[in-house]
Amino acid sequence: MTRPGANKPSRCCANWASMNSTTLPLVCRIGSRNYRWAERTLVMGIVNVTPDSFSGDGLATDDRVVERAVAQGLAFVEDGADILDVGGESTRPGAEALDRACEIARVLPVIEALRRHTDAPISIDTYKASVAKAALAAGADMVNDVWGLQMDPDMAPLVAECGVPLVIMHNRSRPKDASQEERLGGRYVGVQYDDLLADVCRELSAQVATAQRAGIERDNIIIDPGIGFGKTVEQNLTLINRLDVLRALGLPILLGPSRKSFIGYTLDVPPDQRVEGTAAAVCVGIVRGAANVIRVHDVRVMSRVARMTDAILRAG
């Protein structure tokens, strides 16, 4: 599918556009599968092995967690997920950091069990190199780093050595900026950017440069604007509306708006009532010609949304 040029990249990314004139990589190999970025939007299904996920779908609430995670993952694949993203630490605003041993204990049995049941690519959602290393050894195929190589200096060399794809996310989250509301959850307030789009482009570009200096192949890099991470409600809305600006970096883009608080505060609905808001964000991201991967909780619904949006755009 040829993606439309809904908006030309704005001036804020002109410098990075000239620095990153490389066109979008044609193919990315994830595990045993090859994906062609121009063909369709990929779907990443979220498998939360946590007791405290903001979305209310955390599976680590009883001793059946592995069984439930495998059942969920297999259902996601049946419903259209191309990738399963397994995470053991909540990243909701204000969440407490989890120690490495506990995180490994949560995710490894799930990854091992999923690997026995499916050849679908598995992603490990972590910013800790030791967790990523254990997960990759257990059968994971890629790394989704929500801190984009900023938290653990060992992550980039590990990913380079293993030769696996990496999601580099933009993240300015600070605990002091997090505000909690019982019904709608956490959000970031008062976060200041000199120029939102230019700052996100510049910082992602620097993170990509770090990855490449470590030896990570450009064809293995996916960028993520970090919806919900260190951005206010309005900043999140703006990023989705202007997602095409990130095309200047010449890399595939992952969009993760699913059930997030910017939807809740916009529509005044709790996490379990955010499917329509998520669908709207997914559609806009695809129509902007910028969302190559969508990371979602509601895989069946969002897979259909993506397929239908792709089909409409492909029809010209």
Active site residues: 260, 295
Paired tokens of 47: 């498998």
For residues 172 and 108, what is the distance between their CA atoms, to the nearest angstrom?
A: 28
Instruction: Give Cα separations from 79 to 66, 135, 249, 293, 300 (angstroms).
Output: 20, 24, 31, 16, 5
Classify residue 295 by its DSSP letter: E
| Burial class (CB within 10 angstroms; exposed 0-12, middle 13-18, buried 19+) of 163 | exposed
In sequence order, what are the residues at sequence separation of 6 or more whose Cβ sits closer than 8 angstroms to the Cβ of residue 307?
A: 40, 41, 80
Cα 105 from Cα 22, distance rounded (Å): 40
- The rounded radius of gyration (Å) of the Cα atoms in the chain is 18
